[in-house]
Amino acid sequence: MEAPDARRQDARPGSVEAVWAGIEVCRRCDLWRCGNGVAGEGPAHARLMFVGEQPGDQEEQAKRPFIGPSGKILDKALQEAGVPRSETFVTNAVKHFKHLPRGKRRLHKTPDAGEVVACRWWLDAERRIIRPRVIVALGATAALSVFGKATPIGRFRQQALQLPDQAQGVVTYHPSYLLRVPDAEAKRRAYAMFVDDLRFAWKLAT
């Protein structure tokens, strides 16, 4: 690969397009070796921002956030909650897909704290550009990035948590968690709570 342009990856981005360009040459951690970087997408000044963990296999290949199985769950829940996805900004705490190769498959691997901290530079840039009223952290990794510390979902969901940039933060499950709940009744309850959390966040934002 070509050597990165250090000025480009360290310059303070002034637009979403500049974030995309910077992520393409970012070397803040070793996850750039995993494939394409995936920045956020959505309206330039969306009132509501969703932050997930990292792009998945399909997202990395398409270079778009939340278009795989988790994205389908999110879209369904947003529709039920009355939240137009087209009016939200969706992104991830970590911009590259950390994975383990298993034959032709690439298995998800959770980013570590150092990788989350390294990539927070880009999330902070997106927050500064978009200036959302409400930021929803989807899962524990996103919560660590958004709040800078562990924020247990069971304890803090359905609460508006003040952030230093004057936005309000909300924590809820990552859609991938809903895919992994084995018991049908438990899955139904978790999904209902997820929809409630999205509805709560949208009311805060509007």
What is the structure's pLDDT at 9?
54
Look up the domain containing 130 and give its range.
6-205
Q: Which residues of the chain have pLDDT under 50?
A: 1-7
Beta bridge partners of 50: 90, 136
Q: Is residue 1 part of a domain?
A: no
The CATH number of the domain holding residue 147 is 3.40.470.10
Q: Is residue 147 part of a domain?
A: yes
Conformation bin of residue 126: beta by default, left when phi > 0, alpha when psi is -120 to 50:
alpha
Contact 53, 138 (CB under 8 A): yes
